[in-house]
């Protein structure tokens, strides 16, 4: 009788241990944090911006411009949007807003150019594109202010991106080709800055130390 009681107690303790183990595993799963999505978002933005800016600056003939569409849809759009969603998971409000918004920017640009551009009267295309770019210039400007508490590498991206949008907006609104070309040049500089920020983040992560400085701006 006593032996049966001991066995029952041991079984109960075994069940309790298993329950505790399951609880610990559940807590571990709930506290899982994804890898830093920042380098992906920055890389997607950098490459798409670089390719488009090569055409805007007229360094490359505009005849090849449709190559931007696939890149804008897949890398600048979907990949960057996913990076933004993952930034929500890490609790990074700035990164979540920035990557989600610019992922949507590239997707919206792709959709407009592929599906709706032909339905806009030729006389209104410049004004429509200008309005679109001015709106993004406003967004980028206030994101630059917010970036001043991230890193110097990220702040530099927004510092260059805001005038890029302004120049492209002016160029589109008034059909000022030279201004658009200057927007392309500044856009190339923006892409280089974003590539550096991505390169630094992924390199510092894989090396486990600061190889390329990004200069945190938080106080």
Question: pLDDT tens-digit profile of 19-50?
Answer: 666 655 655 555 667 799 999 999 999 999 99
Q: How many domains does the chain have?
A: 2
- Is 90 inside a domain boundary? yes
Task: Give the residue numbers spanning the domain of 99.
Answer: 38-207
- pLDDT band (50, 70, 90) for residue 13: very low
Residues 65 and 145 in one domain: yes
Cβ-Cβ contacts under 8 Å for 20 (sequence gap 6 or more): none
Mean pLDDT, rounded, for 101-113: 97
First to last CA, the chain: 69
Residues 63 and 127 in one domain: yes
- pLDDT band (50, 70, 90) for residue 218: confident
Question: For residue 160, what pLDDT is reported?
Answer: 98
pLDDT at 214 exceeding the cut of 70? yes
Distance CA 77, CA 40 (A): 12
- pLDDT band (50, 70, 90) for residue 15: low
Based on its alpha-carbon atoms, the radius of gyration of the chain, rounded to whole angstroms, reads: 25
**Digit-coded pLDDT (tens) for 147-197:** 999 999 999 999 999 999 999 999 999 889 999 999 999 999 999 999 999
Do residues 133 and 183 touch, judged by C-beta distance below 8 A? no
Q: 101: which 2 tokens? A: 């918004």
H-only helix segments in 1-92: 2-30, 38-56, 67-71, 80-90
Q: 151: which 2 tokens? A: 């890193």
Residues 93 and 20 in one domain: no
Residues 54 and 16 in one domain: no
Residues 125 and 148 in one domain: yes
pLDDT at 138 exceeding the cut of 60? yes
Residues 68 and 89 in one domain: yes
Closest listed residue to residue 31, CA positions, set 96, 97, 89, 93: 89
Q: 87: which 2 tokens? A: 């930034």
Distance CA 43, CA 194 (A): 7
Q: Contacts for 124-131 with beta carbons within 8 Å, 24 or more apart?
A: 126/172, 126/173, 126/174, 126/175, 127/173, 129/172, 129/173, 130/169, 130/170, 130/172, 130/173, 130/174, 131/173
pLDDT at 112 exceeding the cut of 70? yes
């Amino acid at each position: 009788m006593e032996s049966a009681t001991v066995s029952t107690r041991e079984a109960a303790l075994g069940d309790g241990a298993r329950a505790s183990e399951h609880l610990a595993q559940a807590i571990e799963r709930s506290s899982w944090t994804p890898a830093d999505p920042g380098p992906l978002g920055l890389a997607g933005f950098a490459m798409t911006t670089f390719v488009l800016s090569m055409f805007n600056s007229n360094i490359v003939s505009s005849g090849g411009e449709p190559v931007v569409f696939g890149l804008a849809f897949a890398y600048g759009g979907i990949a960057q949007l996913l990076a933004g969603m993952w930034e929500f998971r890490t609790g990074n409000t700035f990164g979540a807003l920035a990557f989600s918004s610019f992922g949507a920017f590239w997707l919206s640009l792709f959709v407009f150019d592929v599906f709706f551009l032909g339905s806009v009267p030729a006389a209104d295309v410049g004004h429509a594109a200008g309005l679109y770019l001015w709106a993004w210039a406003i967004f980028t400007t206030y994101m630059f202010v917010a970036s001043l508490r991230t890193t110097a590498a990220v702040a530099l991206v927004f510092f260059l991106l805001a005038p890029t949008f302004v120049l492209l907006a002016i160029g589109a609104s008034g059909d000022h080709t030279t201004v658009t070309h200057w927007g392309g040049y500044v856009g190339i500089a923006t892409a280089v800055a974003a590539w550096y920020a991505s390169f630094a983040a992924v390199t510092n992560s894989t090396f486990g130390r600061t190889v390329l400085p990004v200069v945190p701006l938080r106080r």
